[in-house]
Amino acid sequence: MLDILVILCMAAGLFFFFGTTVGIIRFPDFYTRTHAAGKGDTLSVMLMLAGLALYNLHHLSLATLLVSGKIGIICVVVFIASPTATHAIMDAGYEAKVRSWSRPGAPKDPDDDGQDNSGEKL
């Protein structure tokens, strides 16, 4: 029973990791790739760690409970650190005026802040 739950968690985590990896390769520009890299990870890491924590509880004792608690704390840290790191990378890119891809023919963003990207190569 526990095994099934563990396998489900792990498989779902792997699926989300796979999706984000494909996203990193396929998305067109820096910003969209950061989306894929930074955040699919959050859910997949949490699923993988949940699977690990459950697997660890096979022999229920105080020691394994403590280890599972520590894994839970890793989840919390990832939950806080991942969006912060994503934000930091994105903000650095925005500051450095990394050119973003937008749909051909999309209306110009109202908040372009006068960034002049015309001289840059795609």
Partner 1 sequence: MFITVTFILLFILWVLFSGKFDLFHLTLGAISCAMVAKFCSGLLFQEKSRHLGRRLAEAGRFLLYLAWLLVQIVYANFHVIGLALSGRRLRRDLDPHIFHFKTVLRHNFSRFVLANSITLTPGTVTIRIHGDTLYIHAISKKAAGDLANQDSISEMERRVGHVFERHNLCFIADKDDQA
**42, 30, 118, 23: which is closest to 85 by C-alpha?**
42
d(CA 37, CA 31): 10
8 binds partner 1 (CB under 8 A): no
Q: Report the distance separating Cα 35 and Cα 25, nearest Å.
A: 12
CB of 19 to partner 1, least distance (A): 3
**Rg for the chain, CA atoms, rounded:** 20
Decide if residue 19 touches partner 1 (CB under 8 A).
yes
Site for partner 1 (CB under 8 A): which residue of 8, 10, 14, 32?
32
In the list 13, 42, 49, 56, the residue contacting partner 1 (rule: CB under 8 A) is 42
Q: What is the DSSP string of 91-119?
A: HHHHHTT------TTPPPPTT-TT---TT
Positions touching partner 1 (CB under 8 A) are 15-16, 19-20, 22-23, 26-29, 31-32, 34-36, 38-40, 42-43, 62-63, 66, 69-70, 73, 79-80, 82-84, 86-87, 90-91, 94, 100-103, 106, 109-111
